């Protein structure tokens, strides 16, 4: 190949790489950047995040792709894009430790989430400063002990592994409050390890821009 042809080939390959355009958050990949518009949540508002991981939740009736977002401060936020309803929405999640749970809720009331299938009503006792606008005053339980699996890795375009033991199985609990915009979730894994998650639901229009890696 002549030098002219070599340079043409090099620049044509670069052009092809630059043609990946992100038009929907469901198509985010590791290394992509997402920037949000003004939002009530100060840690998200007008900030940009890098996608540092793509993992998968598998339930009997749905599969959810979870994007791990890392902000400029190093803080992690988890994002899923819910398209099960007529109006798709973004779900932002933050994991909280036991000390924060104890600050937010009466623990006797909170533990009733796991006791029976009767729907628990959970009342917020106080709001930690860094969770302002992430919470609401009251939550009503909608899901009790639903079985699911958490898989590390992106399975949007490949089948989930069928072998036993390839995913982490857990029981899922969900409580929703105030116009279905605020959510408390719990994931109880084998051995009793439990993740408590505070989530908010926001419209796709909160995305200001997305940049492909």
Residue bearing tokens 């779900």: 91
Residue bearing tokens 């009530």: 40
Using alpha carbons, list the distances in angstroms from residue 89 to 109, 120, 181, 204. Answer: 30, 25, 10, 6
pLDDT computed for residue 161 by the predictor: 87
| Cα angle 194-139-171, degrees, rounded to a multiple of 5 | 30
Q: Check if the beta carbon of residue 126 is closer than 8 Å to that of residue 28.
A: no
Domain parsing of the chain, residue ranges? 23-211
pLDDT per residue of the chain (213 residues) written in tens, 0 to 9: 554 554 455 455 555 556 789 999 999 999 999 999 999 999 999 999 999 999 999 999 999 999 999 999 899 999 999 998 889 999 999 999 999 999 999 999 999 999 988 899 999 999 999 999 999 999 999 999 999 999 999 999 999 987 766 799 999 999 999 999 999 999 999 999 999 999 999 999 999 999 999
pLDDT computed for residue 164 by the predictor: 64
pLDDT computed for residue 50 by the predictor: 98
pLDDT computed for residue 210 by the predictor: 98
| Cα angle 167-170-171, degrees, rounded to a multiple of 5 | 155
Q: Which residues contact 90 (CB under 8 A, 6 or more apart)?
A: 25, 79, 80, 81, 82, 201, 202, 203, 204, 206, 207
């Amino acid at each position: 190949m002549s030098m002219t042809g070599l340079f043409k080939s090099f620049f044509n390959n670069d052009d092809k790489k630059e043609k990946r355009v992100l038009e929907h958050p469901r198509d985010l990949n590791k290394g992509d950047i997402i920037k949000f518009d003004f939002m009530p949540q100060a840690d998200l508002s007008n900030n940009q995040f890098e996608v540092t991981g793509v993992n998968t939740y598998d339930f009997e009736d749905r599969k959810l792709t979870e994007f791990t977002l890392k902000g400029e401060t190093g803080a992690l936020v988890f994002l899923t894009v819910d398209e099960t309803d007529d109006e798709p929405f973004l779900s932002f999640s933050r994991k909280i430790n036991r000390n924060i749970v104890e600050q937010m809720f009466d623990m006797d009331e909170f533990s009733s989430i796991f006791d029976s299938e009767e729907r628990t009503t959970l009342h917020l006792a106080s709001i930690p400063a860094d969770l302002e606008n992430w919470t609401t005053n009251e939550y009503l339980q909608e899901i009790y002990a639903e079985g699911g699996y958490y898989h590390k890795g992106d399975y949007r375009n490949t089948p989930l592994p069928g072998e036993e033991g390839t995913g982490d199985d857990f029981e899922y609990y969900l409580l929703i409050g105030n116009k279905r915009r605020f959510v408390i979730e719990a994931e109880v894994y084998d051995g009793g390890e439990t993740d408590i998650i505070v989530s908010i639901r926001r419209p796709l229009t909160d995305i200001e821009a997305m940049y492909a890696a």
